[in-house]
Amino acid sequence: MSFHIHLQPHVHAMKKITPLLTVDEIEPCLRFWTERIGFEVTVTVPHEDSLGFAILHRDGLELMYQSRASIDADLVASGAPTGLGQEMASGTSTLFIEVDALDDVIGVLGDTEVLVPRRTTFYGMDEIFVRPPCGTVVGFAARVETGEA
């Protein structure tokens, strides 16, 4: 199945989409992504005595994390509704990352909490879902070779 997006003439081309994940503390997230998954932290912005914002990159993928306290301080000052940080933090997002080989990922997960044990899905993926220390639900999946030509 394929979908084609037809933008209205007044909507300019879209360049990329990057998840901005809201958490209480960024630091536990960074250790998971850098030490286990191999991302690089490319931007950090402090907020009070901890990190308020971070951007991570790997192989053309990008993630952004922002602390709830940083959102409240930053966005409310610009006229956003009070409590926006809490609202963003209470929203749910699950990252689904397609990889070449699931065994390689499982080998570096260590004691990361497994939410959905490894399984083969009806849509042809070998996958596992985990929860890193910062709470984001992350699914890693590799296409199952069907052997069909």
Q: Please list the residues that pair with 143 across neighbouring strands.
A: 125
Instruction: Locate all alpha helices (DSSP H) within 6-63, ordered by sequence.
Output: 27-31
CATH number of 133's domain:
3.10.180.10
Question: Cα 146 to chain center, whole Å?
Answer: 29
Q: Is the pTM higher than 0.95?
A: no
Our CA angle for 101, 115, 112, nearest 5°, is: 70
pLDDT in tens, 60-102: 999 999 998 898 888 777 888 887 777 877 877 899 999 999 9
Q: Are residues 18 and 84 in the same domain?
A: yes
- Calculate Rg over the CA atoms of the chain: 18
Q: In what order do the strands lie in the sheet with 40-47?
A: 20-23, 61-67, 50-58, 40-47
Q: Are residues 7 and 69 in the same domain?
A: yes
According to the model, what pLDDT value does residue 3 have?
60
In the numeric block, which tokens belong to residue 7? 């933008």
Q: In what order do the strands lie in the sheet with 125-131?
A: 94-98, 137-143, 125-131, 113-120
CB 106 within 8 A of CB 128: yes
Counted domains in the chain: 2
pLDDT in tens, 7-56: 566 666 778 889 999 998 999 999 999 999 999 999 999 999 999 999 99
Tokens 């069909």 belong to: 148
Q: Are residues 7 and 80 in the same domain?
A: yes
Domain that holds residue 79: 1-91
Is residue 147 pLDDT above 80, yes or no? no
CATH number of 85's domain:
3.30.1900.10
